[in-house]
Amino acid sequence: MDVVPPEEGWETDPFNLVEKDGKLYGRGAVDNKGPMMCWINAIEAYQATKTELPVNIKFIIEGMHEVGSEGLGRLMLTKKKTFLKDIDFVCINDTSWAGMKKPSVSYGTRGLLYFSVSVEGLSKDLHSGEYGGAVVEPLADLIFLMNSLQDHNGRIQVPRIHDDVLQVTPEEERVYKSVTLDVEEMRREVGANKLAHKEDKVRLLMHRWRFPSISYHGIEGAYSGPGGKSIIPAKVVGKFSVRLVQHMQTERATMKITEHLEKAFKLRKSPNRLDIQVLTSTSPWSENPMTPHYTAARKAIKHAYQIEPDLVREGSTLPICNLMHEMTEGKSILLLPLATRADGVHASNEKMDLKRYILGVKVIAGYIYELSLV
């Protein structure tokens, strides 16, 4: 299984699993070699007790996830009427628990639109001492455009972008209130003085999972080195992304955002050239968590942990969910995370608690059994 390259800071050999202080250290311990081994160990437990597996199991072990899964969709399309034909349920062991102490089951992810906005107007970079005030600067145009996307509270200002976002139901409100989230712990984790939305737990969760958001990622072409440099860049490229939620369509959202940027640029009456590109486009994914499949997973978790798991959505984007939905013609999919945010996914010294690994094996074994009763 592929993993991200190990960066500096490892205290152990990242490719040699080490047990230390009750934790298993190694690249892929939680993303995603560890969860895969939980399945293998669960099946071994059935075999060791001479118990026949109560359901048939097929594995898709993907080896290019960290580099975009190139070719996976084409391969699965060739297997749609054979390997994937008789699948009833899909379980994906990815993402992390919503909190640090309580397991969870995920029934939705946000979609993603990643934009590149280029403004170009000069043949070369200029010195601001010679030309400042005499040219229409591309960077000023870009800052204006990026700033037009949201208000001071972070709400997206693109007209009609929220038209497809469903109203929150009372039942959803109750679900979000029941989710375990330590706001103070979250604040410490991200290193912020204060979180958004007045640090209200329900609003924080909804804005992470339930509502669309915009994030800014960088500007190419502008000087970003140490010290000062009086350069007027000839061309700048801004990068930002929009996370989409259930019922938002990538094509409609792309059109609305592009039209907004073009209209804002027209208001500037700038002689510079604007170019807008969408680098990534992935739809949101969502399931009904009140189904026998999700009940089976929740029962398995409760049996292992002696606690009812949280039902959550994910703020991140997982294209495999939509791909599996398409290739299995709408069969039930769930995300069953075995990691916490403290485990260091993609970071140095990635780890999984040995106790949680053993409980993960129990969860998988129980999930297999509970599925046989559906």
Which residues in 36-68 are b (16+ Cβ under 10 Å) and which e? ebbbebbbeeeeeeeeeeeeeeeebeeeebeee
The closest of 344, 351, 320, 346 to 334, measured between CA atoms, is 320
- CATH class of the domain defined by 18-109+285-372: alpha beta
For the chain, give every residue range classified as CATH 3.40.630.10. 18-109+285-372
Distance of alpha carbon 335 from alpha carbon 108, whole angstroms: 8
- Note the pLDDT of residue 27: 93
Query: Which neighbouring-strand residues pair with 220?
Result: 237
Q: Could you tell me where the DSSP H helices lie in the chain?
A: 33-48, 72-78, 128-131, 138-147, 170-178, 183-190, 201-209, 250-268, 292-305, 319-327, 354-372
Distance of alpha carbon 28 from alpha carbon 47, whole angstroms: 26
Q: Do 111 and 243 touch, CB atoms closer than 8 A?
A: yes
- Note the pLDDT of residue 95: 87
Q: Could you tell me where the DSSP H helices lie in 191-228?
A: 201-209
pLDDT in tens, the chain (374 residues): 778 888 889 999 999 999 999 999 999 998 889 999 999 999 999 999 999 999 999 999 987 777 777 889 999 999 999 999 999 999 999 888 888 889 999 999 999 999 999 999 999 999 999 999 999 999 999 999 999 999 998 999 999 999 999 999 998 899 899 998 899 989 998 899 999 999 999 999 999 999 999 999 999 999 999 999 999 999 999 999 999 999 999 999 999 999 999 999 999 999 999 999 999 999 999 999 999 999 999 999 999 999 999 999 999 999 999 999 999 999 999 999 998 888 888 889 999 999 999 999 999 999 999 999 99
For the chain, give every residue range classified as CATH 3.30.70.360. 111-165+211-282
Distance of alpha carbon 326 from alpha carbon 328, whole angstroms: 6
The closest of 313, 281, 334, 320 to 109, measured between CA atoms, is 313
Distance of alpha carbon 346 from alpha carbon 216, whole angstroms: 21
- Note the pLDDT of residue 323: 94
- Note the pLDDT of residue 215: 97
Sole residue written with tokens 């040699």: 16
* Segment 184-189 long-range contacts (CB within 8 Å, at least 24 positions apart): 185/99, 185/100, 189/341, 189/342
Is CATH 3.30.70.360 what the domain over 111-165+211-282 is classified as, yes or no? yes
Residue 114, both tokens: 């990643």
